[in-house]
Each structure stands twice: as C-alpha cells, then as structure tokens.
Chains A and B, each alone.
Chain A
Amino acid sequence: MKLLTHNLLSSHVRGVGPRGFPLRIQATEIRVSPVDFNPDFVTRMIPKMEWTALVEAAESLGHLSELPQQLAEGYEKDEEFLRKVEVVEGTLQCPESGRLFPISRGIPNMLLSDEEATS
C-alpha cells in the first residue's frame, strides 16, 4: 500500500462517516522503491491530497523529515514520496471505531462483515 493510496482510504464501519479518515497506519514492514520523477504528475496530484493526513502517515512510517509540514515552495520534489514508500505488512486502524484492516503482501483488505458495514 502506497501512501497515496492511504490518503484515499476511509473506514466505512457503520456509523463512522467522515471520521473514518484518515486510517492510522501500523506498519511492520515497509519498502522504498524508486519512482521516476514526474513533475507534471506531482504538481497535479498535490491539490488532491489531504496534506495533513499525508504528513501523519509519513510520520508514522518514520519518514517525516522527507516531507514539509506545510505546503511550500519546492514541495513537488517531495511528492514522489507518495509513490515511493510502500507498506508491505501492517494494519490500518479506523480512528473512530478502532477496527483493524490488515495489510498483507502490500495489499490492504478493506472488507467488512455485514454487521460492521453501513447498511
């Protein structure tokens, strides 16, 4: 799971609503892969991100120093971080309900049981 993906994910446990974002990452294994720098991509991507959540996520992975706290000049170069870092093993936790979603072999499983899901 890449941080860009994480920035889009929200818990859909019943009753949680918008408080299901962002999910808290507890990573036990991460991987950093090289990504071709694509300024056009990055420039367009940034406005779509929930920046605070991105910073929190990066912090939880110990890479906070690679990202600015606030959007600033030159942030574009840091955006590759969105695509470079991947959580391979770990969990995503709903901040409201505490429900854990597993990440296994890089793939989050966001399935809920019928009882848990919003009807």
Chain B
Amino acid sequence: MQETPGDSLCPKYCMLGRPRAPETISPGFLGRFYSVITPRTSWWSGPAVLLLTPASQSLRMDSEAAAQLERQHVHEVYESTAAYFSDLQGKAWPRVRQFLLEQKPGSLIADIGCGTGKYLRVNSQVFKLGCDYCGPLVDIAHSKGCEVLVCDNLRLPFRDRSFDAIISIGVIHHFSTAQRRTRAVQEMARVLAPGGRIMIYVWAMEKNHRHFDKQDVFIPWNPALCSQFLAEPVPSGQKHVCGQLRVAPESPPQHPTCSVCGYPMCLQKRQESQRSHSLDGSGTPSCCGKLAEVKDEDSGFYNILGRSFRSWFFSRSLDECTLKEQAEKAGHATEEWAPCHPVSLQPSKLHHLDLGDQEPLSEEQDGAIDPGFIQTTEWQSVPGVLRPLPGVSHKGTQNEQQGGCFLRQSTVGQSCRSAYPGGGEKLDTSQDWKRTSLPPPFISLAATMSTGASQLEALGSKAFIRYYHVFREGELCHLLKQYVPELQVLSSINDHGNWCVVAEKKPGLMAH
C-alpha cells in the first residue's frame, strides 16, 4: 500500500481510500449472499473496488424492502444528522420562493417534507403547514416558530382538497420504488384543492452535460470530517431535511476550498489535473470538487460536508429487481438479465480522477465536465482495472470476469440504461411499470444496502449513506400524466440539476 501524504489531512477519508488486500475485507460481513471481488494492481492507491454479486437470486422480500431501504438510508440518516443543521439558516430556493409568494393571502399551503422549515417562513400572508417524517427536523422547525407535524408522505393525515398550494422540494426522490414515488404524488394531489397548484423538485439524473450513470444512487458522507467546518460561514447554508423530505438545490457558493487539500476548487482545472490530487502530494488545485450534496438546498453545509464524500455507489433499483423476478417467473430467457449487482462501490481514487462524479448536481459547474463521460474515460485510462464496456453488461459473468466495478448495466432491454447526453431517451421504464402489476417480492436490496453501509464502516469510515432516485428528463411529468390524472402539468424545467414541475389540480375531478 502506498502511503499518501494526505493521510494527515483527512485520516478518515484515507481509511476509506486505502487499498485493502482482499483478505482484509471479510466477505462475511457482507452477508452470505454476496461475494467480493477486488482487483489487484500494484500502483493502485484507491480503495478496493468491490463488486457484490448475490449468490442467491431467489431471496424474496415484499414491499417492506422499500420501506426498509428508506428507513436505513433516508430516515435514519436524517434523524442522526439533524443536530448538525439546527443552527443553519437556509436560504429559500428562488423558484420555490416565488411560487409561495404568488399564493393569495389567506391561502393554505403545505410543505410536504419541510425539514427544518426553510420554506415555512416565506410569505406571511398565507398559512403554512409543514410536515416531515423526521421528528428531529420537525422539532427544529417548530422551535423556529413554524407550524409543523410529523407524518408520512405516503399517508397524509389531511382531509381531501384541503390545501390551496403544496410544495414538495427534494423529497420524493428518496422513495425507492416507482410505486411509492407515485403514491406520494397521488397523496399530495388528493389533499390539494381544485385549482390549487403543486410544485415538485427532485434531483435530475441529467445535469447540464453530466449525469449519474444510474438512477438509484447511494451517497455516503461522514459528518465527522466536517466538524472543523461547522463554524465556517456558509453563504447559503441550509437545513437538512429528513425522511422523505428533501432539499432543494442550493445557490452556488463562491470557490469553496477543498477540505482535503485546501486548494480552491477550481472546477475548470479538474479535467487536466485529475491524477494529481493532494493525496499524492502534488496539490494541483483540482480537488475533490463538490459532492453530490452540493446540489442540495442544505448544500451550503453540504458543501462542507460534501468534501467528506469520497465515493458513492449505484444500485439496481428495487423496481428492476422486481421486474427481473417477474420475467424469470414468466420464463423469459434469463440471459437477458444480469445477475443482480446491487452495489458497486466506486473507488475514491477514481472519484478524484473523475471529479464530475462528485458534483453532478452542483449547479455552479455549468458547462464543466460530464461525469458520465469522465467516468468512462477514467476507467479506461486506469491500467489494470478492467471496466465493463458500455451497453455490454448484460452478462453478469462478464462483469465478474472483468473483476472491476460495473458502471452501468442493462436490465430491461434498453429502457433501464443510463440516459446519455441528449436526454431524449424515452421513459421506457414506464412501459415496464405498466406491464407489471404492483411489485411483489424482489431481491433484497435493502439487505444489500445495509451490507454496503457495513462495508463502509468496516473500512473505518463512519458514513451516513443516503438513497436517491434521480429522475430522468420527463420521468416526473410522465408519472403525473400516467398516474395522477387529476393534475395538469403546467411546467417542467431543469433548475440547476433539479427537475422542477408545477401542476394544477383540475377543477371538479375527484382525487384517486
């Protein structure tokens, strides 16, 4: 293993980042369902690349898996980290502010997923009610004078047609299945008055020219790394949101400095200096960049926290696993389906090489690097690390033989493939959802995720891992049009890496 000068700067990171001989990664903690494959390269100073493949694909779980995943990778994370945000004042996202300010005096407005109540203080002429799944965050909002309650977006405790306007800012992307995301919107439509409007913000898979490789993302962060920055003034620091609630993207900060190398994050230079992160001591100012969290509303704080991110990983969505199960049951050729590779842990090293990975959602990086492309490039340029060829990874065995992280995998034909620039890919997944009845059992992704988290912890990094389903272009609109007919979509735009949709409840239509 190489010693890296950066160790003293961020030891926890380096623990994550240190290569491990395979024998030090005990497969046992990953559970009996998965095996670990690590590449061996002498020069490799990143963490082991872990490819988890289930030994058994017949594990079936009911929809509790979705709730379990959300409990572990949404609710518990927010509950555990709420205290970090109690002192932060957030700045409202401009479009959301405007939406709220446009409401008539005396309007009843619900913020479903209000977190610490950032939007509950906009527009004193209306009555605002916030709700969130996360008790600690709701407590914080209440302490600031907001009217709030604790409830579940999937079962809103409100009578039909009660609110004149509803906002859902960075919330429904935390639901782990299409069914739950749809249900969340249906519930909000139910409690919306005819003629009332709803604004929904979710993370976009496409962000300018960059995008995640897959839609289901687990993003870890280690708050301990950021304790030194808690006092740092944040231009637009925000509060954290909990549970199903989520944060909206934040306004761009000005050249924050990397917590690891101390260099200003000069995004333009990332591309050329990818290998020369401070960990190697060469200290080129292309540092960690912002992490995915930057895009969050609370990313002011997350800007800081985000630097503690060193990797995130993608998963197969729970829906994909369900469809796979059903296809198998239907007797379809199983070679169409890769064995479920629930998790690939992308090595930190590559994340530094591919700084785009860490900031696809950061809006201030307009026109900068496309993480999708850079990932590919970097993978290819890393000697000794085999990578899957795009579009080829139908065969799980192929991935295994390659022994490297898979970056993308085809599942249901083309429809689940990562969108690439152009964003014009149709939402074929919706077709799949239509074909299948609502999800019966599927492979336990929740178990996978828990082992993923255990794995990170075992590597010495106490990481909170949050789950996001990032939306493709048109996906949210399609969801509304297909499953929430009482809502009329008025607009849909990409606002700094978020899909912002505004819809109006049609008069006279009964809710679902």
Contacts from A to B (Cβ < 8 Å): 1-2, 4-5, 8-12, 18, 21, 38, 40-45, 48, 50, 83, 101, 105-112, 114, 117-118
Contacting pair B159 A44 (CB below 8 A): no
Question: Interface majority SS on B: helix, strand, loop or mixed?
Answer: mixed
Complex: how many Å from CA A43 to CA B106?
7
Q: Assess the A110–B157 pair: CB atoms within 8 A.
A: yes
A11 CA to B158 CA in the complex, in Å? 8
Q: Which of B64, B155, B156 has the most CB of A within 10 A?
A: B155
A-B pairs, 3 with minimum CB distance: A44-B106, A110-B157, A110-B151
Given contacts A41-B125, A44-B107, A45-B127, contact A9 B158 (CB under 8 A): yes
A38-B105, A48-B108 known; A109 and B158 CB under 8 Å?
Answer: no
CB-CB under 8 A from B152, the residues of chain A are: 110-112, 117
Q: How big is the B interface, by class?
A: 20 to 34
Q: Which residues of A contact B193 (CB under 8 A)?
A: 48
Smallest CB separation, B504 vs chain A (Å): 18
| CB neighbours of B158 from chain A (8 A) | 8-10
A112 to B105, CA, bound (A): 33
Question: Which residues in window 268-302 of B have CB below 8 A to A?
Answer: none
Task: For the complex, give the distance between the alpha carbons of A109 and B139 in Å.
Answer: 11
Known: A12-B157, A44-B105. 18 other contacts (CB 8 A): A1-B147, A5-B147, A9-B149, A21-B159, A38-B125, A40-B125, A42-B106, A43-B106, A44-B107, A45-B108, A48-B106, A48-B162, A48-B164, A107-B135, A107-B149, A111-B150, A114-B64, A117-B152
The docked-state distance in angstroms from the alpha carbon of A50 to that of B151 is 22
Beta-carbon contact of A109 and B155 below 8 Å: no
Asked if B104 is at the interface of the complex by the 8 Å CB criterion, the answer is yes
Residues in A neighbouring B156, C-beta threshold 8 A: 12
Interface centre among A4, A8, A45 (most CB of B within 10 A): A8
B129 contacts chain A at the CB level, 8 A cutoff:
yes
Q: Are B129 and A5 in contact (CB under 8 A)?
A: yes
CB A75 to nearest CB in B, in angstroms, measures 14
